[in-house]
Structure 1
Amino acid sequence: MAEIDGGRLFAKALKREGVEYVFTLNGGHIYNLYEGCVDEGIKVIDFRHEQVAAHAAEGWAKVTGKPGVAIVTAGPGVTDAVTGIANAFQAPSPMILIGGNAGISDHLRGGLQDFDSATFLKPVTKFSEQVKRVERIPEYVSIAFRHATSGVPGPAYLEIPIDVVGGVTDEENVKYPGSYRTDAKAYGDPEYIKQVVDILHNTERPMILAGSDIWWNDASEELREFVEMIDSPVFLNAMGRGSIPSDHPNLGSLGRRYGLVKSDTVILLGTPIDFRLGYGADSMFPQSPRLIEIMMDGSKIGQNRDIDVGVVGDSKAVLRQIMDELRATGYKSPGKGWVEEVITEDQALKAADEEMLNSTQSPIHPMRVMKELRDVLDEDATVIGDGGDIVTFAARVLNINRPGHWLDPGQFGCL
C-alpha cells in the first residue's frame, strides 16, 4: 500500500467520525493537519485567536449535540485555548482539542514551543495524551472521541508533535477503529425507580426543574410527556431551555420561587443544587419538600442538600422507566389545580415587568431591548446569552422554543 502522512491519517479519522468542520488559528506545527482536512473535504474555519476557536468547537457541540473539534498550534496556542476547554469541562460539552508541539526527537533540546501540554490539560479534560507514533493517530482519535462522548460528556485533548504530524507510514501499518463506541443508555436502578414512583403517588404539588441533561440525552419528548402526566409546573435552565416550547401551559419562568416555596416534591432533572439554587439553603426550600434528583453524573447528586431519592442514569431512559412504572401502578395525577396556581402566579410576575418592557428611558433599558428582540425573533431562533446581567434579562424575556437553541455561559461564567 502507499505511504500516508500524519495529517492525512488524522483527517481520515475525523471523517470517520462525521466531522464536517474544524475550528482553528493557523500555526506551523499543525499545518499538515489542515492539508489532510482539505483533502478529505473537511472545512477549516480560521479565527484570529485560539480562545475563539475553542469556544466555537464547544458551541458546535451545544447546537448539534456532536463533538466540536478545535486545532491549535503548540505552546501559547494551547494555553490560549484553555478557557474554552475549561468551559466545556464545566458545562459539560463534548469537544476535541488538538494541539501541536515540538518534535519528540527534539524533546528537552530547547525546541520551538516545546511544552508538555498533555499533562497541563489533564485537570480540565476527560482524556489528555500525546500521540507518539504516526500509524496510531486514528487509534488515538477514536479514544479521544470515546472519552468525550461516553457517560457525562466533556472535552478530550490530543497533543500531536510536529514530527508525528509530518511523519509518514505505509497505510498497511494503520488500523482504523470501527465499532468502538456504544449508544447504549444507562437505565436507572429499578429499586430507586420504584422509590420515585412511591413518592409521586403521595405527591399533591410536584415541581420539575430540568437542565442540560435533557438536551444531551435527547429527552425533550419524554420530559414533556412526564410533565403532562403528573400535571407539574416545569422550569428550565441551562441547555434544558427550549426542551418544552415557550407556549406550553405548564412552563413557567418567573414563578420558580413560588413553586419551590409551596411544592411538596421537587424533581431535579439534570439540575445540580449549586449557586443557581442557593446551594440548597433552607430559604430556597422552606417547606422541606421531598427531593428527587436524576443526574448523569452521580457525584452531583445530593450536592449541598440532602435528597430523598437519587437516580443515576440517562434522563431519556430514566423518565421512560418512571412513566412505565407509574402506569403499571395505576397512577393518577393530583389534577391541574396546582399547576394552574403556579402558572397564574408566573403570569402575574410577568405582568409586573410590563413597565420595564415598554420603558422609553434613555439610554435604553435592557428589558426594552429584550422585548424588541422577542417581538422580531423567529420561532426557531438560536439565542446566545453573554455573561453578567444581560443573560439574566434575556432568560427572563426571550422565548426559546426548540432544544439546543439556547446557549449561556453556564457554571464557569465565561463572558
Structure 2
Amino acid sequence: MDSSGLVRGAPQTGHPLVAAAVDAGARTAFTLSGAHIFPLYDAALRGEPTLRLIDVRHEASAVFAAEAVGKLTRTPGFAMLTAGPGVTNALSPITQAHFSGAPLVVLGGRAAQLSWGRGSLQELDQPPLFASVTKSAATITDPALARAALTGAFAVAGAAHRGPVFLDIPLDLVFHPEVPQSGGAESVAGAESLSGAGAESSRQPDPEAIAEIARLLRQARRPVLVLGSDVWADGAETAALGVAEQLDIPVITNGMGRGIVPRGHRLLATKARRLALGKADLVIVAGTPLDFRLGYGAFGPGGTARVVHLADTQEQVCRHRGLAGAAYGSLGVILAAIREASTPGSWREWTTRVAGEAAAGAARDAELMRAGGDRINPARVYGELAPRLADDAVVIGDGGDFVSWAGKLVEPARPGCWLDPGPFGCLGAGLGAAIGARTARPDSQIVLLLGDGAAGMSLMDLDTLVRHQLPAVIVVGNNSAWGLEKHPMRALYGYDALADLGERTAYDAIARALGGAGETVERPEHLGAALDRAFAAGVPYLVNVITDTDAAYPRSTSGI
C-alpha cells in the first residue's frame, strides 16, 4: 500500500460490505466504475456471496435506479459510488428519495484515511453534504465495524418512515477490511443511528385516535379518502381498499398509491378530484403529506373541511394546519382498525354524485384521447398507449407537461406500478428508474414517458439498458420546448424566453446510435403501430412523438 492507500498486488475475494448488502436483501448494486471501490466490485463478482453489478453512464442514474428498486420492492435499493464527484453526483437523487420516502442505501468511496488532511485526490468530508436529506449520513472509520454499519444502514433505510441512508468508507479501509483500527464504536461517525436497534419499534396506533376518527366518519356527509405512497410502502394496500369498499368512500390516489383502487373502480374519484376535494366535509389523508399536491390540506368550501391525517410515524403527521384527527404507526393496522370501528354513513348520495362526475370526467378524457388533426395532442399518445398496457406494467414519468398528461389519463390497474419523481420534482430520473424497474420487475412491461427536456438530462443511459440487456419502451413527447415553463411565462409576460429546444430533434436516432431501436411518429394515426413495434422489439425502443407545442396541460393554481 502506498501513501494514497491504494493496494498494489493481487485482488481480494469476499468483502464484509458486500456480504452485509446481500444479507440485507440487496441483489443488485448500481454503480459507475471508480478505483475507490474496486475491492467491492471484485468481491461482488468473484466472492461469496456474489452481487449483480449494473454500471451506468452517470452516477445520478445509479441512485435513481436504486431508488426505483426501493419503491417497487419496498426494500432498500443499493448504489455504490466512487469518491468525490461520484458521490456529489448523487445529491439530487438522494434528495428525491428523501422527499419520496423511498428506502435507499448509498455507499460511497472516500479519500484515504492514511493521507487525510494533506489534499489527496477527491478529499472531501462527504456525509455533511447529505445530513439534511438522509435518515443518517456517516463515515466508517474502523473496518471491524463496517459490516455492522452497513447492516444497520439497510435496517434504518427500510424502517418507517423510509428514506435514504448514506455511508462512505476511506480508500485504505475498503482495500484492507480485515485490519482493525482503534476507536471502538465511535469509529463509525453516527454509529448510534446505524445500529439498527429499535428501527422498527412498536407501531400500534392509539386506540383513542381510532375511536375519534370513527366518530368523525359517523358525523360526515361528504367524506373523501386520499391514499398516497406510504400506503404502498407500508404494505397496506389491501387494508386501504377494504376500508374504502366497506365504508363506500370516494378515493383519490397519488404517487405509489395509484392503483390501490384500480382503474375503473366505482370509488376511484381521481377524475372528480376538484368536486371531491372542493366539496368534502371530511378528508382522510393516508400515507402522503399535506403538501402543494393537496393544496396544503385546504379542502372543502373555503377550506372548511375537517382533515384527518394518517402517517407511518409521528414525525410525518402534518403540523402546518389544524387537524380534526390523526393516527400514526402501521398504516395497515390503522386502516384495518378504522374499518373495524366504523360503519357506512349516510353519504350514498355523495358517493353517487362523485361517481357521476368521475364518469363524466372519464368521458371527457376519452374524447381528448381520440384527438386527431395534423399535429399530435399529447392526450392522443395516451389514448393509444393505455389499452396496450398490461395490468402489471410499470409506468415511469419523467417530464413536465407530457408527464402531467400521463398523470391525468393513465390509471394503473394495480398498486406499485407507477413511478414519478414525487414532490421534489427532479427531472432526469427516468432512465435510471427504467434500469431499476427492469431489474426489479424482469417480466413486466417497463414504459418510460419522457418529455424532450427531461430526455436531455439522462438519455445517454439508454446505453446502460442496451449493454445490460434491459428492454424498455421509451416514449418521448417531443414538443421542442420546455412546455412547463413556456406556457406559464407567456401567460405572465406575454412572451417566452429560454424555453425552446431543437425543433423535431431525432431522439430515436440517438437510441439507434447507442444500440437500441426506435422511430419518429408525426401523425396520430401512426401511433398505435409504432407502439406495437416498441412492445414487440425486446430491446430498448424509443418512440419519438412529435407533439403539438401549443397543446399545454390545463393546470390548476390551487393544488386541488
**Please, what TM-score do these two structures have when normalized by structure 2?**
0.69
CA contact (8 A) 1:229 1:333 kept: no
CA contact (8 A) 1:243 1:403 kept: yes
CA contact (8 A) 2:151 2:196 kept: no
Q: Alpha-carbon deviation of 1:144?
A: 0.9
Q: Alpha-carbon deviation of 1:333?
A: 3.3
Query: What does the per-residue CA deviation read over 1:279-318, in whole Å, with 9 as the maximum and x for residues that have no partner?
Result: 2346x64361221111124344344432101112221111
Pick from 373, 379, 403 the counterpart of residue 391 of structure 1.
403
Q: Alpha-carbon deviation of 1:182?
A: 6.5
Cross-structure match for 1:94: 103
Cross-structure match for 1:136: 145
Query: What does the per-residue CA deviation read over 1:31-68, in whole Å, with 9 as the maximum and x for residues that have no partner?
Result: 10111112222100000110100100101111111100
Change (3 A) 1:190 1:169: same
Change (3 A) 1:115 1:178: closer
How far apart are the structure 2 equivalents of 1:122 and 1:318?
31
How far apart are the structure 1 equivalents of 2:280 and 2:229?
22
CA contact (8 A) 1:208 1:234 kept: yes
Percent identity for Structure 1 against Structure 2: 35
Q: Greater shift after overlay, 43-52 or 258-267?
A: 258-267
2:117 is the alignment partner of 1:108: yes
Cross-structure match for 2:246: 229
Query: What does the per-residue CA deviation read over 1:342-399, in whole Å, with 9 as the maximum and x for residues that have no partner?
Result: 0111111222233321111333111000111101111211100113122221121112
CA contact (8 A) 2:39 2:174 kept: yes
How far apart are the structure 2 equivalents of 1:5 and 1:314?
43
2:328 is the alignment partner of 1:312: yes
RMSD, aligned α-carbons: 2.4
2:207 is the alignment partner of 1:190: yes
Change (3 A) 1:287 1:48: closer
- Report 1:240-389 matches (<5 A): 240-281=257-298, 285-286=301-302, 288-326=304-342, 331-334=343-346, 336-389=348-401
Cross-structure match for 1:65: 74
Change (3 A) 1:71 1:148: same
2:26 is the alignment partner of 1:19: yes
Q: Alpha-carbon deviation of 1:183?
A: 5.5
Aligned residue type for 1:286: G
CA contact (8 A) 1:6 1:165 kept: no
Alignment coverage as a number of residue pairs: 405
Q: Alpha-carbon deviation of 1:340?
A: 1.9
How far apart are the structure 2 equivalents of 1:33 and 1:69?
13
How far apart are the structure 2 equivalents of 1:211 and 1:280?
14
Change (3 A) 1:170 1:271: closer
SS in 2 for 1:383: strand
User: Any unmatched runs of 5+ in structure 1?
Assistant: none
Aligned residue type for 2:207: P
SS in 1 for 2:87: helix
Q: Alpha-carbon deviation of 1:272?
A: 1.8
How far apart are the structure 1 equivalents of 2:225 and 2:65?
31
Q: Alpha-carbon deviation of 1:184?
A: 5.8
Query: What does the per-residue CA deviation read over 1:151-195, in whole Å, with 9 as the maximum and x for residues that have no partner?
Result: 200100111111111014279xxx9x9995776651211111111
How far apart are the structure 1 equivalents of 2:206 and 2:33?
48
Cross-structure match for 1:82: 91
Aligned residue type for 1:14: A
Q: Alpha-carbon deviation of 1:77?
A: 0.5
Q: Greater shift after overlay, 43-52 or 248-257?
A: 248-257
How far apart are the structure 1 equivalents of 2:198 and 2:15?
23
How far apart are the structure 2 equivalents of 1:228 and 1:377?
26
Q: Greater shift after overlay, 215-224 or 303-312?
A: 303-312
How far apart are the structure 2 equivalents of 1:220 and 1:139?
32
How far apart are the structure 2 equivalents of 1:271 and 1:124?
18
CA contact (8 A) 1:205 1:338 kept: yes
Change (3 A) 1:86 1:178: closer
CA contact (8 A) 2:365 2:409 kept: no
How far apart are the structure 1 equivalents of 2:31 and 2:344?
54
CA contact (8 A) 1:5 1:167 kept: no
Pick from 47, 50, 53 the counterpart of residue 62 of structure 2.
53
Q: Alpha-carbon deviation of 1:6?
A: 9.4
CA contact (8 A) 2:225 2:285 kept: yes
2:250 is the alignment partner of 1:238: no
2:222 is the alignment partner of 1:210: no
Q: Greater shift after overlay, 395-404 or 290-299?
A: 290-299
